[in-house]
């Protein structure tokens, strides 16, 4: 069981005029690249006959179904769309998503959750870790290599100092890093076959999850515009300017 | 003949109703007449849509990703070396981007022409040389798809879906291109076989094909009409007597394999005749209605590439203190390129949609091919112009576009032949 995230891949990001977030209207949404890698890893495990079934899960509004379809076209067996829309979707963060995943993992009796290490719109890097904590499952994060050894998972992790190899018991949560694999294209015949695969609709309430946020976004600002510099004639002028600016 | 107003269910009465409603409501104020106009608008828009289905969008995504990530970087070196881009073709075959028309019972996807065009435009954006090599498969297969019997379809289309094989459409000769009825390759019946002798020329995939669709003259009587004198055959490329010539060095689409082929006492079993003796001309021409829209789509893909490269450059290059895109001379060039690309796209989409609806689309297919071929050349030239001196240089991508574009006004029916067809169709409609 794994989870591709819906994410933003905008050509140019703009902050909303009321500074509560970024503009998402008309921005093409597609699968988070790290989650694509997660889907690929899951499909690979199934092809090696190490897992029985791959379920693609995503939380969000109607458009999320496209992303789930892509996962199905890549080889997932079925999909679960957890419907969260409108205001709830705007405030949906890692804690609520992890609660949803934890509830689903219990319901589906999953043995493995694979997701991207972080979503490229918010860069939170929390969902995988929180999900593992809520389930009290071991976690292998920033995975660049995953090998199944009997009932244990050997995970090679990319850390600041290099590579760390750990062994964790199943069931477990794994988050995918960039070098885990190269995601396949969805081939045209697979896209057509994916249409026959089922996507089930579920609401967070059905899973007993409250999606209200504990966080309130106060404001969102663009990074400060780079101001043009000023040329000065002499060192004396430079010192004066620096004094004026309160720098010395 | 299809009326341009086919999409409105009742065009005249809708207009009349709107008109009357407007007049009637004039006395009650502008808001009421606006409401009436909206109702009429909704009625007239009922059947027409520019929307792609989810599946079409997904197909387009895959083709676009493949073209931009794998074809674009490899194209310049294939253009320089002229090497056949088999790795790219194999990849396209693996992704299901090739052989879309092959029916499902032969292992294919049975895609319509519209879907095929969407894919073709994206691949052509990457490189029209690669795209032509792929498209030649569709052209070679089309006579079998439209006229083959079950055994022929299973045998020759089935094998294309089992491994990445190529096929070719063998009609043109050194002495006869536009004048298909003037071909001289002879097929003589001898027992259960036909013996073929002749010369074909400019055959795309000529040296790479596993089998050919061949058009040959079976009735030697010069007075026999074109509709009875020719026969269509499927020829295995390894048949003794089939001699592909050297790979021709062309102006553009250099990685595509184009050759002359000599047929010397080639024996073809009678099982490989399509439909029957004398049916060939109609089959050969019938294939074009389905293959012209994708060729138009290919030309549109090239034009789109020219537009994007030129736009990117115009927003980077500065002259007289501004980006060249801010000079009206350049922005107007870009605007006209954009106009042409959008219209060419709409033209091939209409032609493809018509034939998928089951209607004869000759008029629209010719318009699309003629227009797209012309604008591809115009946009490529304009792109070189916008690049200035750099555009003339082989380190920049646009001179290749100019060289590649030219053939779109020549193959699959020259620009002049298309005009002949369009005028004939148009006058025919008018006289009814």
Per-residue pLDDT of chain B (432 residues; tens, 9 = 90+): 333 333 333 333 333 333 333 333 333 455 555 555 576 776 766 677 899 998 999 999 999 999 999 999 999 999 999 999 999 999 999 999 998 999 999 999 999 999 999 999 999 999 999 999 998 999 999 999 999 999 999 999 999 999 999 999 999 999 999 999 999 999 999 999 999 999 999 999 999 999 999 999 999 999 999 999 999 999 999 999 999 999 999 999 999 999 999 999 999 999 999 999 999 999 998 899 999 999 999 999 999 999 999 999 999 999 999 999 999 999 999 999 999 999 999 999 999 999 999 999 999 999 999 999 999 999 999 999 999 999 999 999 999 999 999 999 999 999 999 999 999 999 999 998
Best B67, B94, B96, B134 residue to mutate vs chain A (most A CBs within 10 Å): B96
The answer to whether the CB atoms of A188 and B54 lie below 8 A apart is: no
Contact list, A63 vs chain B (CB under 8 Å): none
- C-alpha to C-alpha distance for B89 and B98, rounded to whole angstroms: 8
Which residue of chain A is at minimal alpha-carbon distance from B97? A188
Q: Which of A74-83, A187-196, B15-24 has the weakest average pLDDT?
A: B15-24
Q: Residue B185 in contact with residue B196, Cβ under 8 Å?
A: yes
* Closest approach of A195 to chain B, Cα-based (Å): 9
Interacting residues of B12 by C-beta distance below 8 A, sequence separation 6+: none
Q: What does the pLDDT average to over A5-21? A: 60
Q: Does the CB of A9 have a partner CB in chain B at under 8 Å?
A: no
Which residue of chain B is at minimal alpha-carbon distance from A194? B55
Q: State residue A8's pLDDT score.
A: 33
Q: What does the pLDDT average to over A47-53? A: 90
Q: Does the CB of A11 have a partner CB in chain B at under 8 Å?
A: no
C-alpha torsion angle, residues B391, B393, B396, B402 (rounded to 10): 60
Q: State residue A223's pLDDT score.
A: 82
Q: State residue B260's pLDDT score.
A: 97
Helices (H), chain A: 33-47, 64-74, 87-90, 94-108, 127-135, 188-194, 235-244
* Closest approach of A186 to chain B, Cα-based (Å): 7
Q: Is B127 marked as a binding-site residue? A: no
* Closest approach of B104 to chain A, Cα-based (Å): 11
Q: Does the CB of A28 have a partner CB in chain B at under 8 Å?
A: no
- For A101-113, the pLDDT digits (tens) are 999 999 999 999 9
Which residue of chain A is at minimal alpha-carbon distance from B60? A188
**Catalytic residue numbers of B?**
412
Contact list, A184 vs chain B (CB under 8 Å): none
Answer with the residue of higher pLDDT: A212 or B90. Answer: B90
The answer to whether the CB atoms of A69 and B58 lie below 8 A apart is: yes
Contact list, A190 vs chain B (CB under 8 Å): 96
- C-alpha to C-alpha distance for A38 and B316, rounded to whole angstroms: 37
Q: What are phi and psi of A208, to 5 degrees?
A: 75, 25
- Choose among A69, A185, A195: nearest Cβ to B95: A185
B361 DSSP 8-state letter = -
Which residue of chain B is at minimal alpha-carbon distance from A185? B62
Q: Is B389 marked as a binding-site residue? A: yes
The answer to whether the CB atoms of A191 and B65 lie below 8 A apart is: no
Spell B36-61 as b/e; 16+ CB within 10 A means b.
Answer: beeebeebbeeeeeeeeeebbebbbb
- Choose among A66, A69, A187: nearest Cβ to B96: A187
Which residue of chain B is at minimal alpha-carbon distance from A189? B96
Which residue of chain A is at minimal alpha-carbon distance from B98? A188
Confidence check: pLDDT of A2 > 80: no
Confidence check: pLDDT of A9 > 50: no
- Those residues of chain B whose CB sits closer than 8 Å to some CB in chain A are 54-55, 58-59, 62, 65-66, 94-97, 100, 109
Q: State residue B14's pLDDT score.
A: 32
C-alpha torsion angle, residues A223, A228, A234, A239 (rounded to 10): -20
Best A188, A193, A194, A196 residue to mutate vs chain B (most B CBs within 10 Å): A188
Contact list, B55 vs chain A (CB under 8 Å): 191-192, 195
Collapsing DSSP to helix, strand or coil, A75 comes out as coil
Q: Mean pLDDT in chain A?
A: 87
Q: Residue A171 in contact with residue A139, Cβ under 8 Å?
A: no
Q: Does the CB of A69 have a partner CB in chain B at under 8 Å?
A: yes
Q: State residue B8's pLDDT score.
A: 35
Q: What are phi and psi of B60, to 5 degrees?
A: -60, -40
Contact list, A185 vs chain B (CB under 8 Å): 62, 65-66, 95
Q: State residue A185's pLDDT score.
A: 87
- For A26-47, the pLDDT digits (tens) are 666 778 889 999 999 999 999 9
B286: buried, middle or exposed (CB in 10 Å: 19+, 13-18, 0-12)?
A: middle
Beta carbon pairs, A and B, within 8 Å? 32
> What is the pTM (predicted TM-score) of this model?
0.82
Task: Work out the percent of chain B whose per-residue pLDDT is above 90.
Answer: 84
Q: Is B9 marked as a binding-site residue? A: no
Q: At what angle do helices B113-126 and B328-356 cross, to 10 degrees?
A: 150
Q: Does the CB of A191 have a partner CB in chain B at under 8 Å?
A: yes
- C-alpha to C-alpha distance for B135 and B127, rounded to whole angstroms: 12
The answer to whether the CB atoms of B54 and A185 lie below 8 A apart is: no
- C-alpha to C-alpha distance for A103 and B227, rounded to whole angstroms: 71
The pair of three-digit structure tokens given for residue B11, joined into one six-digit string: 């065009």
What is the distance of C-alpha B106 from the center of its chain?
23
Q: Is B170 marked as a binding-site residue? A: yes
Q: State residue A229's pLDDT score.
A: 80
The answer to whether the CB atoms of B54 and A69 lie below 8 A apart is: yes
Q: How large is the ipTM?
A: 0.74
The answer to whether the CB atoms of A188 and B65 lie below 8 A apart is: no
Q: State residue B200's pLDDT score.
A: 97
- Choose among A69, A185, A191: nearest Cβ to B66: A185
């Amino acid at each position: 069981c794994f989870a591709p995230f819906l994410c933003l891949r905008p050509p140019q990001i703009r902050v909303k005029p009321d500074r509560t977030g970024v503009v998402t209207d008309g921005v093409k949404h597609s699968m988070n690249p790290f989650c694509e890698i997660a889907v690929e890893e899951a499909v690979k495990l199934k092809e090696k006959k190490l897992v029985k079934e791959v379920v693609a899960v995503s939380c969000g509004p109607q458009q999320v179904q496209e992303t789930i379809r892509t996962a199905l076209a890549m080889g997932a067996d079925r999909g679960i769309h957890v419907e969260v829309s409108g205001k709830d979707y705007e405030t949906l963060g890692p804690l609520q998503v992890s609660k949803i995943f934890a509830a689903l993992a219990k319901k589906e009796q999953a043995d493995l959750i694979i997701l991207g290490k972080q979503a490229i719109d918010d860069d939170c890097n929390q969902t995988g870790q929180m999900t593992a904590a809520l389930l009290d499952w071991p976690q292998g994060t920033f995975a660049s290599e995953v090998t199944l050894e009997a009932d244990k998972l050997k995970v090679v992790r990319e850390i600041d100092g290099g590579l760390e190899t750990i062994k964790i018991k199943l069931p477990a949560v794994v988050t995918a890093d960039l070098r885990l694999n190269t995601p396949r294209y969805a081939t045209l015949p697979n896209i057509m076959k994916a249409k026959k695969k089922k996507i089930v609709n579920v609401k967070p309430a059905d899973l007993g999850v409250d999606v209200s946020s504990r966080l309130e976004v106060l404001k969102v600002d663009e990074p400060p515009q780079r101001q043009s510099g000023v040329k000065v004639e002499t060192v004396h002028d430079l010192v004066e300017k620096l004094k004026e600016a309160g720098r010395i | 003949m299809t009326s341009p107003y086919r999409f409105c269910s009742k065009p005249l009465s809708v207009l009349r109703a709107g008109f009357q409603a407007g007049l009637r409501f004039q006395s009650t104020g502008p808001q009421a007449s606006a409401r009436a106009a909206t109702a009429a608008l909704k009625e007239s828009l009922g059947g027409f849509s520019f929307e792609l289905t989810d599946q079409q969008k997904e197909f387009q995504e895959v083709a676009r990703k493949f073209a931009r990530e794998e074809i674009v970087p490899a194209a310049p070196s294939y253009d320089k070396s002229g090497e056949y881009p088999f790795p790219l073709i194999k990849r396209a075959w693996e992704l299901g981007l090739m052989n879309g028309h092959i029916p499902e019972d032969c292992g294919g996807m049975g895609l319509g022409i519209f879907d095929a065009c969407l894919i073709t435009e994206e691949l052509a954006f990457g490189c029209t040389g690669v795209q032509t090599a792929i498209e030649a498969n569709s052209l070679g297969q089309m006579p079998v798809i439209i006229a083959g019997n079950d055994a022929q379809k299973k045998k020759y289309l089935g094998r294309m879906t089992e491994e990445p094989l190529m096929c070719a459409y063998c009609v043109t000769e050194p002495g006869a291109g536009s004048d298909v009825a003037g071909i001289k390759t002879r097929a003589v019946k001898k027992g259960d076989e036909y013996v073929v002798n002749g010369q074909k020329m400019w055959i795309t995939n000529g040296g790479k094909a596993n089998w050919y669709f061949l058009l040959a003259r079976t009735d030697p009587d010069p007075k026999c009409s074109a509709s009875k004198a020719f026969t269509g055959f499927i020829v295995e490329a390894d048949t003794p007597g089939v001699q592909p010539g050297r790979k021709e060095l062309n102006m553009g689409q250099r990685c595509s394999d184009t050759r002359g082929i000599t047929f010397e006492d080639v024996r073809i079993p009678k099982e490989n005749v399509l439909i029957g003796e004398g049916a060939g001309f109609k089959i050969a021409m019938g294939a074009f209605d389905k293959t012209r829209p994708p060729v138009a789509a290919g030309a549109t893909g090239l034009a789109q590439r020219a537009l994007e490269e030129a736009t990117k450059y115009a927003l980077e290059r500065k002259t007289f203190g501004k980006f060249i895109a801010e000079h009206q001379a350049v922005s107007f060039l870009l605007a006209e390129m954009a106009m042409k690309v959008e219209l060419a796209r709409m033209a091939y989409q209409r032609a493809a949609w018509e034939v998928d609806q089951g209607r004869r689309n000759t008029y629209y297919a010719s318009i699309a091919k003629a227009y797209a071929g012309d604008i591809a050349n115009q946009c490529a030239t304009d792109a070189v112009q916008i690049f200035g001196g750099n555009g003339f240089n082989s380190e920049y991508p646009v001179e290749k576009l100019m060289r590649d574009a030219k053939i779109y006004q020549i193959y699959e029916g020259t620009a002049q032949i298309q005009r002949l067809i369009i005028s004939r169709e148009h006058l025919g409609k008018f006289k009814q």
